[in-house]
Chains A and B, each alone.
Chain A
């Protein structure tokens, strides 16, 4: 009887564990996608050319900006860029207030989510040399240069050359080669 009890006990435990594992799996998949995105954002820096005057010296840092609400992404980015450089330049992560309109001293700006504010912020940054990376279906239409998309459980991205040109950025053809969709003609 005790043995039966014991077996039931184990079975129950297994059932509980199985449920927690499945839950954790869902969290992990979300986390993994964010990690990939963070890595991608960092790697984009290698394929993008900013106007020269933005940097005072060859080893001036590249600054990646996130909003406060994308704190998890900021955390992932910080992990990603730790002890890594793009060329000679170190990479810094700057967390900006959610409502800010004045985005300065930032080379890359990640705008996660679908907030209404994004549209305004992008508009505000038009013509400024900031690479705007978004993660929503209409990202490019609202003026983002690179927009993540999910495809067959893989993180892919689209590029808008029009936006990049507007913001005086040059995007390497090699990056273009791996993009799913490219908007705008090459200069």
Chain B
């Protein structure tokens, strides 16, 4: 029985509901119908029998009154036509049997000997009826009828009819239910299937299809809406969960950090060389201060109250006392360095005394606690460093003064060289020239040659002095950087050289618009030297080639000046930029040996560097760089005009 009612599917429930309803209705209807029918049947039977009895009594009243049994029997024998009446009898007014009738002799026993006035007894198989016989309101006898009631047969028949109707009705209900399922449960089943899918796949993007405009359609809409809501909520929930887990993670990290911090602090406290102390709200030391006592040699009695101040150096004591009183008034953290008596060594040591008030929620100071950190060595070291620094600064100032002095001397020396040394040289050269011009004709060839040599020497010396002055000026001169065009500068320099020696055939190749950012005068000097060297050392070539350009070397833009001149041995390359170091005989290639030193000085002052590659007889190439960062600050040729 329970299995029937634990139906899973709404389809089955609906079917069961329809069938149950139908069955209940049928049962009630059937019961009423059967009861009514049987009652009606009984009433009809009884009515018929009564009619029959009345007919008999009508026909036998006279027979009874006139005691004519034969007539009475004849009246009864008419019942032969009524097959259902199995026995009948007429009794006189005293209940004595007057006449009787039976369809078959077996029924004789069913006829009572003593008659009754009135009575009806309906059994499932038979009906027994007594009916009085009247004559002028006077009872003259009674009729007895025994008939087949047919109630049980009727019951079976009615039952059969009812069962047939019930079967038909249930069949119709089943069909109707199937139709209802197609119209109602199928959409619900679809939604159910979808819901199952949603639950198993956790896919909230699924949507149910709406087939009808009835409540199921509304249900589908509501379901879809709910799905989207759930999807929204779920994503929100997931996001919130993520945020939450993030917060939890952060909190866990914070807790871990806190724990670590606490552990660190505890470890610090236990391993700290510094001692800790505690004082009451007034700043008076409490009884037990073992660490303090073992440091200062005080006792609980001597350090109690403000007695701890006695361990402070006498020079600091008054100040600390004042400060401490003020701090206790204000309840603010306090930190001060002073000297404290250190009993084991019998000396005052610098300590860092820190104090912090413990304040309750009402802002009242509960107590003071703090640490005393021995910073004696540190303090001593710091004092030593301060002293050394002061000394160092003093010495630097001294040296700088000395250097400035020397520089001034050097400058004055340079001026004296330039002015004082050049004047006699000009005299030597000038008078030698005058001698040659005015008295040349009196001098022989040898004398003239000597005088030429004197003049050459004097001129060379003059150039040397110029170069040296140049070198010193390059070193001292203030840098005035500005954008400039090296290509134009080089072209100009080579044009001057060409005009000085117009007979020379030189093939010149200068890259266009080589831009730089630097001091025009210094870079002019540098390029003059480099290009002049190239010009000079290619003099012995039939066709000279000089090139000025730019290329990338080690990721750095580098200018270069190349020629096809005499070149040099690379083993002397390190001496190349040293003043007065010459790789060639001055008779072969005249020069002072200061030029490349000057160039190097200029390049270095521009933050760059210079180097050379060469091979004897195959020409040489000089590379130099300038501070690239500075170069990038200009790029328009118009600014480069010097």
**Interface residues of A, Cβ cutoff 8 Å to B:** 36, 39-40, 43, 46-47, 84-87, 154-157, 172, 174-175, 177-178
The 5 closest A-B pairs by CB, nearest first: A178-B68, A174-B62, A178-B66, A178-B62, A43-B65
**B395: min CB distance to chain A, Å:** 176
Contact with A along B130-168 (1 / 0, CB 8 A): 000001101000000000000000000000000000000
CB within 8 A of A177: which of B63, B67, B136? B63
Asked if B68 contacts A174 (CB within 8 A), the reply is no
B304 within 8 A of A: no
Q: A174-B62, A178-B66 are in contact. List 8 more A-B contacts (CB 8 A).
A: A36-B67, A40-B65, A46-B136, A157-B66, A174-B59, A175-B66, A177-B62, A178-B62
B296 within 8 A of A: no
Residues of A within 8 A of B20 (CB): none
Contact with A along B540-575 (1 / 0, CB 8 A): 000000000000000000000000000000000000
From 105 to 153 in chain B, residues with beta carbon under 8 angstroms from any chain A beta carbon are: 135-136, 138
Would you give 26 A-B contacts (Cβ < 8 Å), ordered by A?
A: A36-B67, A39-B65, A40-B65, A40-B66, A43-B65, A43-B66, A43-B135, A46-B135, A46-B136, A47-B62, A84-B136, A84-B138, A86-B136, A87-B136, A154-B67, A155-B67, A172-B62, A174-B61, A175-B66, A177-B59, A177-B62, A177-B71, A178-B63, A178-B65, A178-B66, A178-B68
A49-B135 Cα distance, complex, nearest whole Å? 16
Residues of B within 8 A of A177 (CB): 59, 62-63, 71
A97-B66 Cα distance, complex, nearest whole Å? 29
Asked if A85 contacts B136 (CB within 8 A), the reply is yes
Residues of A within 8 A of B65 (CB): 39-40, 43, 46, 178
A46-B65 Cα distance, complex, nearest whole Å? 11
Q: Which of A87, A156, A157, A177 has the most CB of B within 10 A?
A: A177
Residues of A within 8 A of B61 (CB): 174
Residue of A nearest to B58 (CB): A174
Residues of A within 8 A of B66 (CB): 40, 43, 157, 175, 178
A47-B59 Cα distance, complex, nearest whole Å? 13
A178-B69 Cα distance, complex, nearest whole Å? 9
Residues of A within 8 A of B59 (CB): 174, 177
A47-B62 Cα distance, complex, nearest whole Å? 9
A85-B136 Cα distance, complex, nearest whole Å? 8
Residues of A within 8 A of B63 (CB): 177-178
Residues of A within 8 A of B136 (CB): 46, 84-87
* Residues of B within 8 A of A (CB-CB), count: 13
**A153: min CB distance to chain B, Å:** 11
Residues of A within 8 A of B67 (CB): 36, 154-155
Q: Which of A46, A85, A157 has the most CB of B within 10 A?
A: A46
A157-B68 Cα distance, complex, nearest whole Å? 11
A49-B270 Cα distance, complex, nearest whole Å? 150
Residue of A nearest to B68 (CB): A178
A174-B68 Cα distance, complex, nearest whole Å? 12
**A42: min CB distance to chain B, Å:** 9
Contact with A along B571-582 (1 / 0, CB 8 A): 000000000000
Residue of A nearest to B67 (CB): A154
From 62 to 92 in chain B, residues with beta carbon under 8 angstroms from any chain A beta carbon are: 62-63, 65-68, 71
**A112: min CB distance to chain B, Å:** 19
A157-B138 Cα distance, complex, nearest whole Å? 23
A85-B61 Cα distance, complex, nearest whole Å? 16
A139-B271 Cα distance, complex, nearest whole Å? 168
Q: Which of B59, B66, B135, B138 has the most CB of A within 10 A?
A: B66
**B143: min CB distance to chain A, Å:** 15
Residues of B within 8 A of A46 (CB): 65, 135-136
Residues of A within 8 A of B71 (CB): 177-178
Residue of B nearest to A180 (CB): B68
A110-B58 Cα distance, complex, nearest whole Å? 27
A178-B66 Cα distance, complex, nearest whole Å? 7
A88-B68 Cα distance, complex, nearest whole Å? 26
Residues of B within 8 A of A47 (CB): 62
Q: Which of A40, A43, A155 has the most CB of B within 10 A?
A: A43
Residue of A nearest to B138 (CB): A84
A149-B561 Cα distance, complex, nearest whole Å? 193
A103-B66 Cα distance, complex, nearest whole Å? 27
Residues of A within 8 A of B58 (CB): 174
Residue of B nearest to A174 (CB): B62
Residue of A nearest to B75 (CB): A177
A156-B65 Cα distance, complex, nearest whole Å? 12
**B260: min CB distance to chain A, Å:** 132
Residues of B within 8 A of A157 (CB): 66
Q: Which of B62, B63, B71, B135 has the most CB of A within 10 A?
A: B62
**A135: min CB distance to chain B, Å:** 15
Residue of B nearest to A47 (CB): B62
A86-B136 Cα distance, complex, nearest whole Å? 6
**B135: min CB distance to chain A, Å:** 6
Q: Which of B67, B71, B138 has the most CB of A within 10 A?
A: B67
Residue of B nearest to A173 (CB): B62
Residues of A within 8 A of B138 (CB): 84
A157-B136 Cα distance, complex, nearest whole Å? 22
A40-B68 Cα distance, complex, nearest whole Å? 12
A174-B74 Cα distance, complex, nearest whole Å? 13
A105-B322 Cα distance, complex, nearest whole Å? 170
Residues of B within 8 A of A155 (CB): 67
A40-B135 Cα distance, complex, nearest whole Å? 13
A187-B283 Cα distance, complex, nearest whole Å? 159
A47-B66 Cα distance, complex, nearest whole Å? 12
A174-B63 Cα distance, complex, nearest whole Å? 8
Residues of A within 8 A of B62 (CB): 47, 172, 174-175, 177-178
Residues of B within 8 A of A43 (CB): 65-66, 135
Residue of B nearest to A177 (CB): B71
Residue of B nearest to A36 (CB): B67
A46-B136 Cα distance, complex, nearest whole Å? 8
Residues of B within 8 A of A36 (CB): 67
Residue of B nearest to A157 (CB): B66
A172-B136 Cα distance, complex, nearest whole Å? 15
Residue of A nearest to B64 (CB): A178
A36-B67 Cα distance, complex, nearest whole Å? 10
Residues of B within 8 A of A40 (CB): 65-66
Residues of B within 8 A of A178 (CB): 62-63, 65-66, 68, 71
Residue of A nearest to B70 (CB): A178
A175-B64 Cα distance, complex, nearest whole Å? 11
Residues of A within 8 A of B135 (CB): 43, 46
Contact with A along B22-40 (1 / 0, CB 8 A): 0000000000000000000
From 49 to 63 in chain B, residues with beta carbon under 8 angstroms from any chain A beta carbon are: 58-59, 61-63
Residue of A nearest to B140 (CB): A43
A175-B63 Cα distance, complex, nearest whole Å? 8
